[in-house]
Amino acid sequence: MATVGMNTEVGVELFLAECDRHLTLLEASGLQLQREGPSDRLLDDMFLIVSNLINVSFRMGIIPIVYLAYGAKVILKRICSGHFEQDDYEIHMLFVLFDRMRQHLDLIQMNYIENRSEGRHSLSECIYTPSLHLNEHYKNEYIFYKMIIEDNKSLYRVYIRIRNDCIRIPTKMLAVYQAIKESGELVASLPEETELWRERVNQSEARILAYLDPLIINDLIETIFHIRDVEVCDIVKLAF
């Protein structure tokens, strides 16, 4: 029996359908987590779904989704270890990560439909990242972990507080976000950048997940504190 290649037209459609299914399950599980609190079975199910999403995205070379899914996995690990309160921000960050993954999936779907009409059917022809081909022996989580840390980056939680009497809080927060993006990869934030650009933000606090090089943390903190009206900058490494 012939095997359907994941980079064929059928393979792309299977990938889109599988990712959509995983994300739908994650979103439903996240709502249950928010409503009922953590349970061993629920967290085990979410870990399995995230791992499946990482696997299929990595096989297809969709690295942004891999990074976002790993961020979700780190947060789930923190919840398992007891770093969770019913009103804590981790649950909100999970939904931000799910939403970002959904945005990437929608973009892939849109690009695929547009390019298919021009006779290009493979994912590598339609999407901004090339497909990766690995032997079965190497298709495991060690490869994903190595991919993320090979450039000496780890996932960090960043907490920022702007002075309450600051006149343009969104402007100051955008400056902080830009400093983080120039130093690493910002994967999720509350509030989100779109809300800041539209100046729909009143709160003076921001929480961010970003992949950063540990060697630049002190320089980044100094840079952020040089931004006028930044009152607190707390950067904590989140271990896998």
pLDDT digits (tens, 9 = 90+) for 123-133: 544 443 333 33
Q: Where are the domains of the chain?
A: 9-149, 154-237
pLDDT per residue over 195-208, tens digit each? Answer: 887 777 778 899 88
SS3 147: helix
Q: How far apart are CA 199 and CA 197, in angstroms?
A: 5
What confidence score (pLDDT) does residue 107 get?
81
What confidence score (pLDDT) does residue 142 get?
46
SS3 120: coil
According to CATH, the topology of domain 9-149 is: Four Helix Bundle (Hemerythrin (Met), subunit A) (1.20.120)
CATH tag for 154-237 (out of 3.40.50.720, 3.90.105.10, 3.30.70.1110, 3.40.50.300):
3.30.70.1110
- Model-level pTM? 0.63
pLDDT along the chain (240 residues), means of 10: 44 84 92 88 93 86 82 85 62 84 83 65 45 36 51 83 87 90 85 79 86 90 91 84
